[in-house]
Amino acid sequence: MTKLHLHLLSDSTGETLEMIAKAALSQFDAVEVERHFWPMVRSQQHLDRIMQEITHFPGLVVFTLVNPDIRRSLEESCAEANMPTVSALDAVTESLSLALGQEQLHRPGRQHQMDEAYFKRVEAIQFTIAHDDGLMWEEWEEADIVLAGVSRTSKTPTSIYLANRGYRVANIPIVKESPPPPNLFRLKRPMVVGLTTSPDRLIQVRRNRLLSLNQAPETAYVDKEQVEDEVRYARRMAADNNWPVIDVTRRSIEETAAAVINLYNERRTQMSPRNAGTNPV
């Protein structure tokens, strides 16, 4: 198995760099990667301290640094240590510069500036947390998206992920013995999406959940016949109300959220083509 030390340096939070590295690494098998994460690198003194650790664990250095002096120092130090460096955003930034006819501003962390969109994302997160698990159903009409599904179909983490993208999300568990509030079926503004999964996968997830809580793993909550009945009930509810359904059995949270966003954009296209493909914030 190939082993690699991967050093990720950023002059901001490093969130973008981490996502790029994760996406790239997913294309390789049989590798053991030890990541070294270095955020907020904005001074020569900080870089000097980091270089001691980097040279102790030589590998590939990937960075997003806009300060030309710090960037040059990093590249020269790595060249002396015979370590390759990659600037993760150069190609995109240079292409944008040509397309826009502008020079880049060389401002670290500018994507995290607290503009109007930032505060709207914060509001979306607050709304989503307040409307988790069926809470405050009287305000669901204010949501952009409502996720509905049986217990343990990733409704909450998907909601939070979408909220971080600026969508106001509510979610509700579909429980056969406790029907949802009637206004769920009268919503006009939000898009209601059903989340489902295979009964076998659902039983596995629920059993692991019970074990993590030190509870008996053999209850009606994981009974195969009852779980299958739950899933059928939720699917029937979605079909009766013309809700789109996403099967999360083999999807990550990110993939489920991407599918929801695609559905949301398609709905906006049908309602108003001018708004297609735009984030609500």
**Residues in binding site:** 149-156
Given a contact cutoff of 8 angstroms between Cβ atoms, the answer to whether 34 and 48 are in contact is no
DSSP 181-247: PGGGGG-SSSEEEEEE--HHHHHHHHHHHHHHTT--S-SGGG-HHHHHHHHHHHHHHHHHTT--EEE
The secondary structure of 10-60 as a DSSP string is: ESS--HHHHHHHHHHHTT--SEEEEEEEE----SHHHHHHHHHHHHHS--E
81-91: b or e for each residue (b if 16 or more CB lie within 10 Å)? eebebebbbee
Binding residues for ADP: 149-156
Sign of CA dihedral 268, 274, 277, 281: negative
3-class DSSP assignment, residue 171: strand
